[in-house]
Structure 1
């Protein structure tokens, strides 16, 4: 069975980017900006801002101070010109493109990608492959598995039922982009092995060939458009790009109809072309194909009889290419025109039909720790200390002859302070698997796995939170000068259930499948807002009770106390429930109920209710972790429970 995490596949080998996600065994094509494929172009603003997914038509409407890069992948591996000013970093451009695609993929399937596959041209070596890996890291995506485009196309046809015996060969022709590429693959037990590849570099781009033919057919000898096409100049670049874009549009139309118009620069009349015109313009490509196939087979050291399958990624409106390839190979090509064929085929090659690796062996992408990441933990910690200080400073201390014989304060409030100290430790532990403090890892100090970080973080949280709660109880007894035993029972007693949950999470979470980690990490983040609301409510309740007694009342204090009780009720409901509908119903109801029943005698019970809800949150999180870590045990238990009813 395939793993249940989201596996993203991105095709960078074609003239437009396509992306597919495999989730729970289902392939989902990703819509990027509402399109099945996204142009490669990137616009660079004057301040360095990047706009991705632009084609040549959209680039013409850019302001003059914007720079347009039509294909960032074409810049990978090129030497950097030190004399060029503000030369864009192609890795940064590609990272922006990948980040954009990853955002849409995560939004469409509801979770970030746990695995990444990238399809690349067969000619890319270690330098450009390294650039792709670096770009995915900058984009915050997992480390990619790289698949060459011919292997992805062969795998796609194999998934459709076109089989080739092990040891036989597959010839793949990619004519949909410039330069056209021919590759011979040999089928092996774990996929395909590349034997030889060749690019038809001596042939101009098909769009340029068609443009040249149309211009020389539709204009006379003195037309300056001929000179603009033959000898491009900077002042004619806009009209030349517009004409090329019109040719591309006409080729797409000819795939479905017999004739298509090409708009020539005014005041010239539009030209009308047919598929025969495309064939005539592409004659240099067609003439070179037989010799290229013959040289390729020689380079691969095979004969035509070794070819079991020929796969063709065709050019638009050029059916003659199929016939030419059939004559050259002796095998009728299988046409693959689906825009997501390469992304799907790459997923087939990289699919793992075994359970995914556990968190103990995985490494999630990590980011440098910032102050903003600690804000939530700092706020919960500050709330915990505030409740502790309020309980101590408002304690009613009874003395006889300078001896403290009694001290009355809100013991449940002290328990909440201890529980919030434990929750602060949870918030810090949540950051451990995804952030780091020091520099990059080295061979002598390798980066720890995500499972190791989870274990260390939550074990430290269990111990550190329990110690903090213990210190709270001892500090309270010391501050009021009375026996610390009742205070310690409350502070430590409220924190110990959460500490036990943290210890269980530390022991079992490294067994969670790596593809389930992103979703699990999102669930483990403490509800900071709920904790702050609860702390504010308890603070207001205690403040109101210190201004009133069962005999004397204070109207302002009563309103403040009721408001605090309402806040505590809402926080209790939000902490104990997770569904939006349940929260929308229970939060207002519990807030009103707490406000109505709040009094000197019921305040402790209301606070205990919140402590129960907080313990329930920790218990649910631990149970979910155990279900992910031991799925077979959960299934067995459900079967055992259901057996008496069957």
Structure 2
């Protein structure tokens, strides 16, 4: 499989770290330590060893230090304390985080990271931006392209169907990190320009406010918890209570009430959504004034804001309602954990799209007889099944008139399907072979996309015509009504013809670097088709005592062998995954051999037809995925959104 550039995007602007990798136009969310997002915390051991991805609620040994978020230390002096005389450089801490994320990304994708994009808060200037670049270099990663979080959110909202016209403005609110941030962006043809940004710096700590509320409502006047939170005697209890409040706030996202566990021996307390709303009211009250000041600073008014984007905090209620009331526009909620990394990749993608098959020209060689061997084999199998079905038919004649003709209709359907598969196999050769060698005429060589479109359209038409002729020829051979035979031959061919038509329409959009991989995926499984045809031939021969059973005898053994071959071909056609094949092939091979009988053989053949149709559908899906990678990502984001 060819490998193009592999770009990793890492989000450093949210409360948790997320990463996405773009490879060959396909974006893959990265699991970090088995999680979609990773806590930014870092623990420093007594020997200087760094442990990354540590949650704030994790208990650590007394001789270890915990850093809640290394990015909060950027732009400051090196970290030191009384237990460790050697200071710790914040850039080293961030480098450890990036190195850990990069290793997971490279391992999951199976190739090195060749480009890096990092999302950062909009307030970061040259000093912290330089430190991020230095941290990436220390982590052994490429020098990063830096994208501000509001711009990344706006770009991601565009992929969700909320584009912002060039020349207009967009208001972005990030409520998921303390303090909440409001930013106005101006949309340009090349991206976004930041006009103004403001943080709600005076916003209180909700966890602290709710903790104080719980203490004063659930404890007595003489309770030690009422001492200040920085009192060493009660510091651990205050920390545990704050963690319990944070957990309860998460529970309130999906329920009206939640328990708060107070340090023993105290009884648990109960908080409600109303308690959180009251605690958050000072934050919510700031929103109208903050938006007004922000728009004044950006020199725009609400009429210039066709879109308002909110990155919500599930534990902070009513932000969307306050924004909608202030701006007159219902906010677009962007809450997917990889929204920022996906948007950053969209912004840093090349402005000039990668060459597609419509403009590419793959190397081509002269067509040889050996290239046609497999195609001719499938065609021969198709014709053999047709001839056998005709020659072994049970024809009823009354007064010289044919009044009935019984044959294997599913076998006729398979013959029609293999005729279409033969046409697809020929079409597969067109983009990489010449019919008679390199032309000497001055006419321009057709592009690979043009060859794919023409060949697969010709395959759809040619295969359909051949299947039609099969049905008509069967009726003519029997001197009987051809309708039922035509239905089966076309029924086997038309699904594959529809797939070939879709491939012809979409394959020219595949990026040029992905064409060799696509050609590998679309190579027809000739051996599987030949195996299925051999199995169907043996089954039919066994039940009609025709060639070769009329010479060898043992029809029971022949039908069993034929069913086993058909089961093997069905299993191999259904999946390309080696593990699935190892599981299903023995099962279907043995199962088909055990259940084969005159009454069941038609159903087994229909099973193979279904498998062959599934092969065509899967091939079409692979083509669409390569041709429209970003559309697939947008659909997955919509499907995966919470609440859907």
TM-score bracket for the superposition, by shorter chain length: 0.5 to 0.7
Q: What do the CA deviations read for 1:285-328 (whole angstroms, capped 9, x no partner)? A: 01111111111111111111111111111122333111111111
Match of 1:292 among 282, 290, 293: 290
Q: Please say if residues 174 and 312 of structure 1, whose CA atoms lie closer than 8 Å, have aligned partners that are also in contact.
A: yes
Structure 2 match to 1:190: 190
Structure 2 match to 1:283: 281
Change (3 A) 1:162 1:81: closer
Q: Please say if residues 311 and 335 of structure 1, whose CA atoms lie closer than 8 Å, have aligned partners that are also in contact.
A: yes
Structure 1 match to 2:486: none
Match of 1:74 among 47, 72, 75: 72
Q: Please say if residues 275 and 318 of structure 1, whose CA atoms lie closer than 8 Å, have aligned partners that are also in contact.
A: no
SS in 1 for 2:95: helix
Change (3 A) 1:54 1:81: closer
Change (3 A) 1:113 1:259: same
Change (3 A) 1:68 1:81: closer
Return the alpha-carbon distance in structure 1 between the equivalents of residues 80 and 22 of structure 2: 42
Q: Please say if residues 210 and 282 of structure 1, whose CA atoms lie closer than 8 Å, have aligned partners that are also in contact.
A: no
Return the alpha-carbon distance in structure 2 between the equivalents of residues 131 and 109 of structure 1: 27
1:222 shift after superposition: 2.8
1:3 shift after superposition: 8.6
1:332 shift after superposition: 0.9
Mapping for residues 555-566 of structure 1, pairs under 5 Å = none
1:224 shift after superposition: 2.2
Mapping for residues 185-334 of structure 1, pairs under 5 Å = 185-229=185-229, 232-334=230-332
Change (3 A) 1:137 1:252: same
SS in 2 for 1:56: coil
Mapping for residues 539-554 of structure 1, pairs under 5 Å = none
Return the alpha-carbon distance in structure 1 between the equivalents of residues 227 and 172 of structure 2: 37
Normalising by structure 2, we get a TM-score of 0.53
Structure 2 match to 1:546: none
Return the alpha-carbon distance in structure 2 between the equivalents of residues 50 and 161 of structure 1: 42
Change (3 A) 1:83 1:312: closer
RMSD: 2.5
Mapping for residues 156-195 of structure 1, pairs under 5 Å = 156-195=156-195
SS in 1 for 2:319: helix
Structure 2 match to 1:152: 152
1:349 aligns with 2:354: no
Return the alpha-carbon distance in structure 2 between the equivalents of residues 33 and 350 of structure 1: 27
Q: Please say if residues 195 and 298 of structure 2, whose CA atoms lie closer than 8 Å, have aligned partners that are also in contact.
A: yes
1:240 shift after superposition: 2.3
Return the alpha-carbon distance in structure 2 between the equivalents of residues 48 and 80 of structure 1: 14
Mapping for residues 403-482 of structure 1, pairs under 5 Å = none
Return the alpha-carbon distance in structure 2 between the equivalents of residues 129 and 64 of structure 1: 33
Structure 1: 5+ residue stretches without partners = 358-512, 517-579, 581-646
Q: Number of residues paired by the alignment?
A: 357
1:354 shift after superposition: 4.0
Q: What do the CA deviations read for 1:39-92 (whole angstroms, capped 9, x no partner)? A: 11111111111110101222x2x2211111111110000134799732211000
Return the alpha-carbon distance in structure 2 between the equivalents of residues 323 and 19 of structure 1: 30
Q: Please say if residues 210 and 279 of structure 2, whose CA atoms lie closer than 8 Å, have aligned partners that are also in contact.
A: yes
Change (3 A) 1:164 1:245: same
Structure 1 match to 2:19: 19
Return the alpha-carbon distance in structure 2 between the equivalents of residues 155 and 243 of structure 1: 39
Q: Please say if residues 56 and 241 of structure 1, whose CA atoms lie closer than 8 Å, have aligned partners that are also in contact.
A: no
Structure 1 match to 2:586: none
Q: What do the CA deviations read for 1:595-642 (whole angstroms, capped 9, x no partner)? A: xxxxxxxxxxxxxxxxxxxxxxxxxxxxxxxxxxxxxxxxxxxxxxxx
Q: Please say if residues 182 and 199 of structure 1, whose CA atoms lie closer than 8 Å, have aligned partners that are also in contact.
A: yes
Change (3 A) 1:354 1:165: closer
Structure 2 match to 1:107: 107
SS in 2 for 1:122: coil
Return the alpha-carbon distance in structure 2 between the equivalents of residues 24 and 334 of structure 1: 29
